[in-house]
Copies of this chain bind each other. A is one copy, B any other.
């Protein structure tokens, strides 16, 4: 190892007996390079242990070969939800194929979201994937103003027609879930919906409404939770107090359903005999509750995988700039709670 640190392109060129320009060409795909030059550059690279300096490269190419995953959520929620881990897995699966790295941007609302935006403005990354965004974060608009390649995981609140996104068909999923209860003969079906500032929650609620009205049932037994277990518990208590005659419960997330199951058990109601319950997500919680939850599986990894591919296309300029929309159907998973 020479004193100055790692070897530079200059040294590679010198060792290979070619110019820096030729060495550079040989290293980057080898267009217009003779077989002889190519092989001597290859040898020099190997013997020197040369690795190109990414900063220098990206200074001139204006590419960083990294993309950001932006999670505009308070830390706590993000991390307690397996949704998040799956998301990263989906992204990484695609990135494993190309030579692009993942930068994780957790934007707590407020001060640090400004910093996140600055980071993206910087062109520190070639593109961004935004997941799990709320109504009021305004991120969609701000990102579009940057004209940074960008794909949303989950339908954004606004600008949905001018932005590329991949979503799961939450409405269809919850419709199907509700139908399970209808089919098993439930007469009085309530729902615990998610926070109304998230599109996924609103879409699921709409699905419940659709199924209920199609079956000619009343859709007035409704309570909102916050997608946490405790929230589900509180919502279930309120709901059962207001409507003690419920015999079916459609819950917008498994975690909330888990809380609801506790309430039902505590009040001596048997599941599914007295009250049948369906959850949503199937991201690891549903099979561990007592009884195991019938639920709707969200193909989260598939969603983010698709989102990532769309982003890469956008970065490469292959997508002609028109906003795409991909909607993935969810799958019903039958277990014991309904």
On A, residues with C-beta under 8 Å from B are 6, 51-56, 58-59, 64, 66, 75, 78-80, 82, 84-86, 88-89, 92-93, 96, 99, 101-106, 108, 112, 115, 118-119, 121-124, 229, 258, 284-285, 288-290
**A79-B89 contact, Cβ under 8 Å, with A55-B58, A119-B101, A121-B51:** yes
Residues of B near A118 (CB, < 8 A) are 51
Tell me the complex Cα distance, A124–B100, Å.
12
**A115-B92 contact, Cβ under 8 Å, with A59-B55, A79-B85, A124-B54:** no
Beyond A55-B55, A96-B108, A102-B104, 4 additional contacts (C-beta under 8 Å) are A56-B59, A80-B82, A84-B85, A103-B103
**A106-B79 contact, Cβ under 8 Å, with A54-B122, A55-B64:** no
Q: List 30 A-B contacts (CB under 8 A).
A: A6-B123, A51-B122, A52-B122, A53-B59, A53-B122, A53-B123, A54-B55, A54-B122, A54-B124, A55-B58, A55-B59, A56-B59, A59-B59, A75-B93, A79-B82, A79-B88, A80-B82, A82-B82, A92-B104, A92-B106, A99-B115, A101-B103, A101-B119, A102-B103, A102-B104, A103-B104, A229-B288, A258-B288, A288-B288, A290-B290
Tell me the complex Cα distance, A29–B119, Å.
19
- Copies of this subunit: 2
A11 to chain B, nearest CB (A): 16
A309 to chain B, nearest CB (A): 17
Whether A88 lies near B103 (C-beta < 8 A) is: no
Checking B53, B75, B82, B284 against A92 with a beta-carbon cut-off of 8 angstroms, the contacting residue is B75
Tell me the complex Cα distance, A15–B84, Å.
45
Query: Which chain B residue lies CB-closest to A102?
Result: B104
Tell me the complex Cα distance, A288–B228, Å.
13
Residues of B near A52 (CB, < 8 A) are 122
Tell me the complex Cα distance, A78–B214, Å.
43
Residues of B near A79 (CB, < 8 A) are 82, 85-86, 88-89
In the complex, the 4 A-B pairs of residues with the closest C-beta atoms, listed nearest first: A79-B85, A55-B59, A55-B58, A79-B89
Residues of B near A56 (CB, < 8 A) are 55, 59
A94 to chain B, nearest CB (A): 12
